[in-house]
Amino acid sequence: MDSKEAMPLDGLCTRCIGRIFASEGHGLTNHQRGESFIESQSQNGIEISVVKETECRICQGIFQSAETYSTEISRRLSSYEYAGFTIGCTFSEETIEMESSIQASFGSKGESIKKEFNREIGKLIEQHTGKSFQKDDPDIMIKVDTRYMSMDFQVKSLFVYGTYRKYSRDMPQTRWIKYTEKKDTIESIIGEILNSLTGGDAYFLHGAGREDVDVRMLGNGREFIIESCNPKQRSIDLDKLGKMVNSSGKNVEIQDLSFTTRDKVRILKEEKHSKIYLATVVADKDIDKEAFLKSLEAINGKVIYQRTPLRVSTSRSDLVRERMVFGITMENLQGNTATLRIEAEAGVYIKELVSGDRGRTNPNLSDVSGMDLTISELDVIEIKR
């Protein structure tokens, strides 16, 4: 190598020179690689003008701050419960480009400054905290931006699976963005209590479908996964969580709790289960039992065609769904009010099956019975799963 080729190395420190050859000489630090390269060049009569790390064009002495970074990070980590961590560092584009063009002129056999800095801080954090670097799905991702000397944590959410029952006819499953009114939701009741145990700062409820605000969810309950964001505690007592929610007097009960993972949310949301409902149906006149039972037969075991109901058509695309009503029986009748037990495929709009939704559901119970029927009360009493 003549002195012209060695030119790109001017203004670099020993460590950054060594990093150019990182894939060679295993078991050496970059600093050691740098020393041995400089020495071998010197023996060939080529003198490289090495600078101190603080004057280095690439690293600008950042490695001397590794202890400061790792001490501060370890201090902040101490308020979290976590199994392991990973680190990602950001350097300025100029630094990265300068480094890769210098390394390219030596055959791109080096490693990036990011990789070395991650490793150096990681080792120090391991020493300070006793926790290990966790490459896959770490509880905490530490993000260091060397441009601003800033550090941030991305804490993996904690996910808890369960089933809920809702005893209120005036409670949405999740918060309604469009209403500013502070109203209890299933999400807020479970989420607030969960975060009181995890120290999380936000929560989201992911339901396996949802019932209307005025529909009770009884029986075996509906599956959900609640997500606690930025949790400080992860190994919380789920029995305690259940007891706290169930004794809160908020008309929500949860059971079957277990820890789960983010990838289960999508699976849960894609589940399709048929359901059994109990519906209180009110007619515009007294109901004739025999005639009404015959009308039920026109729906029983039939495929129905439902256009997206008017009441939800602003939020869902208008299409016709083909769905099965597996069974419909009368449990009780008094004057103009009947109680029906309806078993239907996932996705049937039960209120519209009864009312007809101005002809958008066919067949429907109002048409086949020749009466104006509406549902005054509706409960989900079983989800078949």
Whole-number minimum distance, CB 91 to Zn ion, in Å? 12
Task: Please tell me the distance from the alpha carbon of residue 309 to that of residue 360, in angstroms, as a whole number.
Answer: 7
Q: Please, which of residues 83-112 interact with Zn ion by CB under 5 A?
A: none
Q: What angle do CA 124, 125, 126 make, to 5 degrees?
A: 90
- Residue 20 binds to Zn ion (criterion: CB under 5 A): no
58 vs 194 by CB, closer to Zn ion? 58
Whole-number minimum distance, CB 13 to Zn ion, in Å? 4
Contact window for Zn ion (CB under 5 A) among 12-20, 87-95, 227-235, 368-376:
12-20
Q: Please, which of residues 27-86 interact with Zn ion by CB under 5 A?
A: 56, 58-59
Task: Please tell me the distance from the alpha carbon of residue 92 to that of residue 95, in angstroms, as a whole number.
Answer: 5
- Least Cα distance to 38 among 6, 70, 61 occurs for 6
In the stretch 189-218, what mask flags binding to Zn ion with x, by CB under 5 A?
Answer: ------------------------------
Full 3-state SS string of the chain:
CCHHHHHHHCCCCHHHHHHCCCCCCCCCCHHHHHHHHHHHHHHCCCCCCCCCHHHCCCCCCHHHHHHHHHHHHHHHHCCCCCCEEEEEEECCHHHHHHHHHHHHCCCCCCCCHHHHHHHHHHHHHHHHHCCEECCCCCCEEEEEECCCCEEEEEECCEEEEEEEEECCCCCCCCCCCCCCCCCCCHHHHHHHHHHHHHCCCEEEEEECCCCCCCEEEEEEEEEEEEEEECCCCCCCCHHHHHHHHHCCCCCEEEEEEEEECCHHHHHHHHCCCCEEEEEEEEECCCCCHHHHHHHHHCCCCCEEEEECCHHHCCCCCCCEEEEEEEEEEEEEEECCEEEEEEEECCCCCHHHHHHCCCCCEECCHHHHHCCCEEEEEEEEEEECC
Task: Please tell me the distance from the alpha carbon of residue 154 to that of residue 128, in angstroms, as a whole number.
Answer: 20
From 212, 214, 288, 367, the catalytic residue? 212
13 vs 353 by CB, closer to Zn ion? 13
Whole-number minimum distance, CB 44 to Zn ion, in Å? 23
What is the separation of C-alpha 39 from the centre of its chain, rounded to a whole number of angstroms?
53
Whole-number minimum distance, CB 15 to Zn ion, in Å? 5
102 vs 340 by CB, closer to Zn ion? 102
- Residue 22 binds to Zn ion (criterion: CB under 5 A): no
How many chain residues touch Zn ion (CB under 5 A)?
5
Contact window for Zn ion (CB under 5 A) among 13-21, 158-166, 213-221, 272-280:
13-21
- Residue 13 binds to Zn ion (criterion: CB under 5 A): yes
Q: What angle do CA 376, 377, 381 make, to 5 degrees?
A: 155
20 vs 186 by CB, closer to Zn ion? 20
34 vs 209 by CB, closer to Zn ion? 34
- Residue 16 binds to Zn ion (criterion: CB under 5 A): yes
- Residue 344 binds to Zn ion (criterion: CB under 5 A): no
Contact window for Zn ion (CB under 5 A) among 11-19, 95-103, 130-138, 335-343:
11-19
Whole-number minimum distance, CB 128 to Zn ion, in Å? 24
19 vs 275 by CB, closer to Zn ion? 19
Whole-number minimum distance, CB 1 to Zn ion, in Å? 20
Whole-number minimum distance, CB 92 to Zn ion, in Å? 14
51 vs 83 by CB, closer to Zn ion? 51
Whole-number minimum distance, CB 224 to Zn ion, in Å? 52
55 vs 256 by CB, closer to Zn ion? 55
212 assigned to active site: yes
Contact window for Zn ion (CB under 5 A) among 10-18, 159-167, 190-198, 293-301:
10-18
Task: Please tell me the distance from the alpha carbon of residue 356 to that of residue 374, in angstroms, as a whole number.
Answer: 9
The footprint of Zn ion (CB under 5 A) covers 13, 16, 56, 58-59
Catalytic residues: 212
